[in-house]
A and B are shown apart, each in its own frame.
Chain A
Amino acid sequence: MSAWGFYVATLLIYFAVDLLSGIALNLQFGYAGVVNFGYIVFQAVGAYVAAVVTLGPSLGAGSYQQYILGAHLPFPLDLLAATAAGALLSLLVGLFSLRRMRRDYQAAVLLIVSLIALQVVSADVPLFNGSNGLTGVGWPLGQLFGVTATQSPWLYTVWSLVVVAVVFVGVSWLSRSPWGRSLRAMRDNQGAASAMGLNITSLRLQVFVIGGAIAGLSGGLLVEYIGAWSPGAWGYAETFVIFTAIFVGGVGNYRGVVLGVLLVPVIFLEIPRFLPAIGYPGLTASLEWVVIGLAWMLCIFFRPRGILPERRLHVTPPGALEPGALQPEAAPR
């Protein structure tokens, strides 16, 4: 396998994982207006759980890594466990953070949750091996066929794209369903939505948990490819990369999400690799973040609804007349 092939395959896998994140955040933020600034925590818990349930029993405090829940689960169970972990944690977090309060407070609280989680996991070594993190994670599906993820990255690419496709179909069906329309109603006018009989708190919790489940799945998918996971991989700034992506692409529609994820985490963060190195090592990385911040600000300034904005929703109830049919003899222009 050539280095280029490996690189492209890895990039596609990252694209798949980021697309899952984009889909989850777009469902929460774009459709329901729930601002999840702690998104990365739910991805992280999925990654940790997928790691420990495949690594086998923990070797205990004296060994090079220790963790809880050690097991050797076969293929579908590892990703299911990751998904369930994401859902469960988001249920717990959602129960106290989704109370009705100002949106900016809520965002701040979730940001704080993200910081708390990072500190707890770093400080508590018996949980997930502290700040050193877990290594040596395998790929259970590949093991069925006797291959590893790094040996056959193309196989893993196909697999992750399949996962994304399934989630994508499911979520876009959900967002076109009556449930999805009630999410938009809640986002656009909370008062009116609850006057129509929608249970705002419950809807927000539902969308938070579904997003959390997708986040957990994306974490599992990522960790089984890269094989290691540690607190360094889920700083709170990672959440903002995905937020920038969906903001730039366009919130509230999936074309925008795909475009944004392609532009920001994939193309944009990869371009600097091919530029000649300037200054001291690490300068390019800092400048990358500066440009992300600027792109974010310019986008809010010039295209607050993204490059591909959400289309207005037209719903024609069954049996209704076509719009405009009732005023046939409008004044001639």
Chain B
Amino acid sequence: MPGQLLSSVADGIVVAAILSVAAMGFTLQFGLTNVLNLSFGSVMTIGGFTAYLLEAARVNPWLGLLLGGAAGAVATVVLGRGVLRQYARRRTQLFEMMMVTLGMSLVIDYSIQAISQNSIYSYTVLQAAPVHLGSIVLTPVQVGIVILAIVILVVAEAALKFTKMGKALRATAVEPSLARSCGIQTGRVVLITWLASGFLCGLAGVVYIISTQSVDYTTGELFLPLIIAAAILGGVGSLKGAVGASLVIGIVTEVVAGLGAGGYSTVAGFAILVVVLLLRPGAVIAGDEDRQLVL
């Protein structure tokens, strides 16, 4: 049984790695712009399908991973600048903006459904024989995903702490008008955030389909609630928090699945969020109504 538990925990860490790549992108975006972006999952699907198409065209899978991320970045900038900004000009409020992103996600998802003929495509790249470490069985790709997540966390944290753009981003997230009057070009900061978070989103899409080995139009949408849960649980805008929350959710879901209740594994992940809301409402209330859109 301890062996079983250990292997569940290892699987949980892999799930957490995938989740945390997405959650870092989401929390970065949400923390700065204050838009609860429900089209995030759809952009993940775009990243995944890009990687699939590149794979079909025999492009190197690692390059496919990068280009999938790039596709996510481009899509996010197009949506952020081309759509959300237009709504912001018409003084659409925070909540209505979430409704807009919901509309975008319907349009993207079902366009993909129409183009992909509503089929599931198998995506089997970078598969290799699993490595046994005692009771833990991991494939090299899974190890790679975990390393990737750690690298992203370290690089992103360092970029936020030490680079000029990172400092500008944190300043804008805290107080946009003050940042603007200090000479920070908030428009550029937002653009960079769309790019970076979109890249992480696309990347997460590819990493996710590498792990599930298939892609269809619901890929990102089904993953999105877990991403939102991780971002809220970790504290909005905190990369470390997002990773920590991803670890909790990932390990709990896999341990529950390992105990033989497969149908309830995701439920357990969500239940954590609900429990946190029940026990510590203060954790999520901070900064109630006075938040403003930064676009």
Could you tell me which A residues sit within 8 Å of B by CB distance?
A: 35, 96-97, 99-105, 107-109, 111-113, 115-116, 119-120, 122-124, 190, 237, 240, 247, 280, 282-283, 286-290, 292-294, 296-297, 300-301, 304
Contacts and interface: CB of A to CB of B under 8 A. Distances in A.
Interface of B: 36, 83, 86-87, 90, 92, 94-96, 98-100, 102-107, 109-111, 113-114, 117-118, 225, 228-229, 232, 262-264, 266-267, 270-271, 273-274, 277-278, 281, 284-285, 287-289, 291
Contacts of A105: 36, 232, 284
Nearest to B261: A123
Interface of B is mostly: helix
B106 A292 contact: yes
Greatest chain B CB density within 10 A among A123, A286, A287 is at A286
Contact of B110 (A101, A124, A290): A290
Nearest to A118: B267
B255 to A, nearest CB: 17
B284 A101 contact: yes
B232 to A, nearest CB: 6
A104 B98 contact: yes
B119 to A, nearest CB: 10
A292 B109 CA distance: 12
Nearest to A284: B114
B113 A286 contact: yes
B277 A296 contact: no
Contact of A108 (B36, B106, B109, B281): B36
Contacts of A286: 110-111, 113-114, 118
Contacts of A247: 99
A301 B273 contact: no
A289 B103 CA distance: 10
Given A300-B87, A304-B96, A116 B267 contact: yes
A99 B280 CA distance: 11
A262 B288 CA distance: 37
14 contacts: A100-B285, A101-B281, A103-B95, A107-B98, A112-B229, A115-B225, A116-B271, A119-B263, A123-B267, A283-B117, A286-B113, A286-B114, A292-B106, A293-B105
Contact of B263 (A124, A292, A293, A297): A124
Contacts of B113: 286, 289
Given A97-B277, A105-B284, A190-B289, 8 more contacts: A100-B281, A100-B285, A104-B36, A112-B225, A286-B110, A293-B105, A294-B107, A297-B107
